[in-house]
């Protein structure tokens, strides 16, 4: 081991006082640098450890918040579905039911979360009314026998819109129209001549043929944009200004059925047996607070998600 010579010790052979002093200074400097490097290493390791702890804490908190959000979404979908299947058949009753169900869920979860120093809040922020309109194996006429009539009013979005045309009652020059907005904006037309169906779309005066077929009937899905399973992008109604009405023209020329689930209202020509009032959508506010985290989000539940 290195030895520091004490003051007054004799010099070795050939040694000088200046050489001895320089050697001691270098050695002392080396020890000092070693101490500094060790101290810096300790400080850096402590900082890295603290940062890792903080990161793990934040990640764990975010994961807990997201788990609570998923649980709340599942509860909201169950409440939404249960209200439609069991408890109510009008907009007022449906809204009351889902609001009370989510309030009960909140009362249970906030007590559980509070034991872990977590504050939560769950509340229904808004609901969107809608209708589920269905009629099958009938002429495309109103219940009163009208050939030109309104199926739905003030439609912005549709979850399901399907038309099945099964029997043709008209002539070769007749057409069945399903109109969105005004006939000058957009309409679907179906015709039949010599056993061949033709389905097309007229948008702002431009006609696009979707399909011709000799099948026994035609099925038109205006949400999936298909005719008998074949794609027809012209069925898209995004160019029609919202909200719009959906109407039938020349309904006596064909028999079949239709289903429309939308955020609109049922047309005044329909009877109550032909439609159900539904909640088309519901928004739920979710809040999750801990001493380290503030998490807020809004989850939307739609009729299609909850009824799937």
Least confident of 4-8, 123-127, 237-241, 252-256: 4-8
Name the pLDDT band for 56 (thresholds 50, 70, 90).
very low
Answer yes or no: is 83 within a domain: yes
Predicted confidence at residue 37, as pLDDT, reads 39
158 and 259 both lie in a single domain: yes
Predicted pLDDT at 62: 79
Residue 167 contacts by C-beta under 8 Å, 6 or more apart in sequence? 217, 254, 255, 256
In the predicted model, is pLDDT for residue 78 greater than 70? yes
- The reported pLDDT for the residue numbered 21 is 58
> 122 and 242: one domain?
yes
- Helix runs in 115-155, H state only: none
| Residues 34, 71 within the same domain | no
Q: Is a pLDDT exceeding 50 seen at residue 175? A: yes
Question: Do 110 and 253 fall within a single domain?
Answer: yes
The span from the CA of 187 to the CA of 189, in Å, is: 6
- The DSSP symbol for 234 reads G
pLDDT tens figures, 187-217: 999 999 999 999 999 999 999 999 999 999 9
Same domain, 193 and 288: yes
Q: Is residue 218 part of a domain?
A: yes
* Contact (Cβ atoms closer than 8 angstroms) between residue 141 and residue 147: yes
257's tokens: 């059925």
Q: What pLDDT was estimated at residue 50?
A: 41
User: Which of these, 152, 164, 140, 136, lies nearest to 261 by C-alpha position?
Assistant: 152
Residue 25: per-residue pLDDT: 62
Chain segment 235-268, per-residue pLDDT in tens: 999 889 989 999 999 999 999 999 999 999 999 9
Highest mean pLDDT, choosing among 19-28, 47-56, 64-73, 180-189: 180-189
135, containing H or E segment: strand 119-139
Alpha carbon distance 276, 160 (integer Å): 14
- pTM: predicted TM-score of the whole model, two decimal places: 0.75
* Domains contained in the chain, number: 2
Sheet holding 265-266, edge to edge: 206-213, 196-203, 186-193, 176-180, 244-249, 149-155, 265-266
Assess whether 195 and 283 both reside in one domain: yes
Cα 147 to Cα 5, 150, 178, 251, distances in angstroms: 118, 10, 12, 4
Residue 108 has a pLDDT of 86
Does residue 159 share a domain with residue 29? no
> Do 217 and 299 share a domain, yes or no?
yes
More confident residue, 248 or 59: 248
Q: Which residue has the higher pLDDT, 246 or 306?
A: 246
Of 54-68, 130-144, 269-283, the least confident:
54-68
Q: Residue 156 in contact with residue 190, Cβ under 8 Å?
A: no
- Shared domain for 26 and 68, answered yes or no, is no
- 25 shares its domain with 82: no
**What three-state secondary structure class fits 3?**
coil
């Amino acid at each position: 081991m290195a030895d520091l010579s004490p003051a007054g010790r004799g010099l070795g052979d050939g040694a000088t006082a200046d050489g001895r002093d320089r050697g001691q200074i270098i050695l002392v400097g080396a020890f000092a640098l070693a101490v500094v490097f060790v101290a810096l290493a300790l400080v850096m390791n402590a900082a890295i450890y603290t940062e890792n702890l903080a990161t793990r804490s934040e990640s764990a908190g975010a994961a807990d918040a997201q788990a609570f959000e998923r649980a709340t979404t599942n509860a909201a979908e169950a409440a939404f579905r249960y209200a439609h299947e069991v408890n109510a058949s009008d907009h007022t009753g449906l809204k009351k039911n889902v609001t009370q169900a989510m309030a009960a869920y909140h009362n249970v979860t906030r007590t559980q979360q509070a034991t872990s120093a977590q504050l939560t809040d769950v509340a229904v922020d808004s609901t969107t009314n809608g209708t589920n309109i269905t009629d099958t194996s009938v002429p495309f006429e109103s219940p009163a026998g009208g050939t030109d009539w309104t199926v739905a009013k003030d439609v912005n979005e549709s979850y399901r819109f399907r038309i099945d045309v099964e029997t043709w009652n008209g002539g070769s020059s007749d057409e069945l129209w399903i109109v969105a907005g005004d006939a000058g904006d957009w309409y679907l037309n179906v015709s039949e001549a010599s056993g061949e169906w033709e389905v097309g779309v007229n948008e702002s005066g431009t006609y696009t043929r979707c399909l011709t077929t000799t099948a026994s009937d035609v099925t038109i899905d205006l949400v999936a944009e298909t005719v008998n399973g074949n794609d027809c992008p012209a069925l898209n109604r995004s160019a029609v200004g919202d909200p719009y009405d959906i109407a039938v023209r020349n309904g006596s020329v064909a028999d079949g059925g239709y289903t429309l689930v939308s955020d609109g209202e049922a047309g005044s020509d329909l009877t109550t047996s032909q439609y159900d009032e539904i909640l088309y959508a519901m928004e739920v506010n979710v809040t999750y607070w801990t001493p380290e985290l503030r998490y807020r989000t809004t989850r939307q539940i739609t009729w299609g998600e909850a009824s799937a």
